[in-house]
Amino acid sequence: MAPMVAGVLVLASILAAILLITRPLGIYMANVVLGERTILSPVLGPVERGTYRLLGLNGDAEQTWAGYAVSVVVFGLLSIAALFVLLLVQGSLPLDPTGAAGMSPDLALNTAVSFVSNTNWQNYAGETGVSHLVQMAGLTVQNFVSAATGLAVAMALVRGLVRRSTTTIGDFWVDLVRVTLYVLLPIAAVVALFMVSQGVVQTLSGAITVDTISGGHQTIALGPLASQEAIKELGTNGGGFFNANSAHPFENPNPLTDWLQLVLILAIPFALTYTFGRLAGDQRQGWVLFAAMAVILGTAALVAVGSEIRLNPEYAAGIDGALGNMEGKEVRFGAVDSSIFAAVTTGTSTGAVNAMHASFLPIGGGVAMVLMVLGEIAPGGVGAGLYGILVFAILAVFIAGLMVGRTPEYLGKKVEAFEMKMAMIVVLVVAASILGFTALGSATSAGLAGVSQGGPHGFSEILYAFTSQSANNGSAFGSLSGNSPFYNVFGAIAMLVGRWGMILPILAIAGSMAAKRRVAPSLGTFPTTGPLFVGLLIGIIVIVGALTFFPALALGPIVEELLMHGGATFS
């Protein structure tokens, strides 16, 4: 079978699975955020009410957008502080069969911010850098609540768009409890059991030493993997127990688990578009977002596959190229599945890898960067993808409004100056973080000290690192040595900017839109439910990304691709 045909078939099977999941999961999540009865209510209802009593919450209380924002920030800061302390003192805590010592302050700060912001960037080797206790009580817990935070913020924005003349957009603490309890925990528990059945390890034991067939000895790390692996993908987190992440056979044993991980990563972000349509009272609104996400992700994945099924022309002579570019890839996945995995994990905020992105050919690595700089809205992370693409939808109706010469409207509400200012902050703050920190890394000795190669690939290492962290993705060109005070500190700042620099103006938009009345559609109203709006939305996303990041991409993967065909190499 031709590699490109195989790629199309794999993508088609994933899309079919997502289409089957989207409606039931979307309806279920809508019922959860509305506080309605679900199939799990008889079992989890008492737990939910008990949690409210324990936390002193009123399940019916609501907050203004400012109160919601304060709650999000306070919860994030407290989570960072708690995880930071755990990482500093982990060597003195129990359940540490690996003998992991306490992290340095700069590495602990980077790691704490990383997992709380749903980035999961790792400047340490997972199997030796963190104890079992911190893996479970620290990192896995944050995998749940960071994903729940993103979903809660998305639902707050949706409430703002669909409600009329109100000052409240829900209660963050209630949303956090419901999403974690009814959505993330049950699905992750089932998936973890299935992962164990496929060979993913789940134990509190430490490393074991085995005899190899060549007569040598090998130390094999073990730990509580399956419980972390399930939420790692479902919550679009991406941080792995092993340094090799999903390329390690204990995290991702076979093609079936690889396919399942891709479906898990995409399930909630795509299903949230159905949730949005249901809450908006017009399912077509949700399908428009679904279509835009699917077109961007599918196109990017096919471009990545097309890049990786060929060979570097400098080394192609005399080599059988049937398998494509296999450098940095696992034989059990190959170039096709590895390329699709890279596109899916960078089109979301997952950051998991089953191949080394630094070993991709320039276009393949460039696709991963493009998907992140576009805002990770194809389909983006849990919650983050929905609120990100809704910002672009607001930009799209604003531009459409200029075309027809009237005040733009979205879901029957006027988009005015305040919403546009906040939307532009969302777009520009992440771009400023990516480009600003990349420039700093490229112009300072501390930044250049981590680069392993010269030329455009070395620049791409720095660009990829700050793109991944600012976009809260977490994947990396593993050739960059990121465990230094420079990359730990500035990376932590980039992750904070990328997370809360988006969330705060988005909640401001939610509050502003919630206070508005709906206006009746007229002949001048631009329709937001058809193929025309899908095309406009995709165009706005691509143009904004192209105009903002093309110069940086031209200095990295684009020029590297051109030089590669000219026979240039770098060291």
Q: CB neighbours of 27 closer than 8 A, spacing ≥ 6? A: 274, 275, 278
User: C-alpha distances in angstroms, 333 versus 355, 359, 407, 427?
Assistant: 9, 15, 51, 35
pLDDT value, residue 511: 95
pLDDT value, residue 454: 80
Contact 526, 400 (CB under 8 A): yes
Q: Return the SS3 of 479.
A: coil
Alpha-carbon dihedral 164, 165, 171, 175, rounded to 10 degrees: 10
Pairing of strands 208-211, 217-220: antiparallel
In single-letter form, the type of residue at position 292 comes to A
Q: CB neighbours of 46 closer than 8 A, spacing ≥ 6? A: none
Exposure letters 189-201 (e unless 16+ CB within 10 A, then b): eebbeebbeeebb
Q: Cα–Cα–Cα angle for 498, 504, 510, nearest 5°? A: 130
pLDDT value, residue 98: 83
For the record, the structure tokens of 120 come out as 């999961």
Other beta carbons less than 10 A from residue 8's beta carbon: 16
Which residues in the chain come in under a pLDDT of 50? none
For the record, the structure tokens of 549 come out as 């990041």
User: How much of the chain is in helix, strand and coil states, percent to nearest 5?
Assistant: 65, 5, 30
For the record, the structure tokens of 430 come out as 């992440």
pLDDT value, residue 525: 76
For 518: left if phi > 0, alpha if psi spans -120 to 50, otherwise beta; the answer is beta
Torsions phi, psi for 87 (to 5 deg): -70, -35
Q: How far apart (Å, rounded) are the C-alpha atoms in residues 439 and 65?
A: 35
Q: Where are the domains of the chain?
A: 390-565
Contact 164, 519 (CB under 8 A): no
Q: How far apart (Å, rounded) are the C-alpha atoms in residues 383 and 448?
A: 35
Q: How far apart (Å, rounded) are the C-alpha atoms in residues 241 and 222?
A: 9
For the record, the structure tokens of 189 come out as 């528990």
pLDDT value, residue 60: 82
- Residue owning tokens 């009329």: 164
- List the one residue out of 268, 269, 274 whose CA is nearest residue 287: 274
Q: Cα–Cα–Cα angle for 533, 539, 542, nearest 5°? A: 145
For the record, the structure tokens of 205 come out as 């034991």
User: C-alpha distances in angstroms, 68 versus 76, 83, 84, 396?
Assistant: 12, 23, 24, 26
- List the one residue out of 98, 179, 195, 80 whose CA is nearest residue 138: 80
Q: How far apart (Å, rounded) are the C-alpha atoms in residues 44 and 212?
A: 48
Contact 394, 316 (CB under 8 A): no
In single-letter form, the type of residue at position 83 comes to L
Q: How far apart (Å, rounded) are the C-alpha atoms in residues 105 and 85?
A: 9
Pairing of strands 413-414, 409-410: antiparallel
Instruction: Identify the bridge partners of residue 202 per DSSP, sorted by sequence position.
Output: 224
User: C-alpha distances in angstroms, 220 versus 201, 217, 296?
Assistant: 11, 10, 40
The structure's pTM equals 0.95
Q: How far apart (Å, rounded) are the C-alpha atoms in residues 210 and 426?
A: 52
Q: 198: which DSSP letter? A: T
For 115: left if phi > 0, alpha if psi spans -120 to 50, otherwise beta; the answer is alpha
Other beta carbons less than 10 A from residue 205's beta carbon: 12
pLDDT value, residue 320: 60
Instruction: Identify the bridge partners of residue 208 per DSSP, sorted by sequence position.
Output: 220
* DSSP notation for 84-137: HHHHHHGGGSS--TT-PPPPPHHHHHHHHHHHHTT----SS-HHHHS-HHHIII
For the record, the structure tokens of 54 come out as 């324990």
Q: Return the SS3 of 329.
A: strand
Torsions phi, psi for 309 (to 5 deg): -85, 0
Q: How far apart (Å, rounded) are the C-alpha atoms in residues 140 and 488?
A: 21
Does a cis peptide bond (omega within 30 degrees of 0) precede residue 379?
A: yes
- Residue owning tokens 């206790």: 133
Q: CB neighbours of 546 closer than 8 A, spacing ≥ 6? A: none
Q: 211: which DSSP letter? A: E
Helix 283-308 / helix 3-33 crossing angle, nearest 10 deg: 150
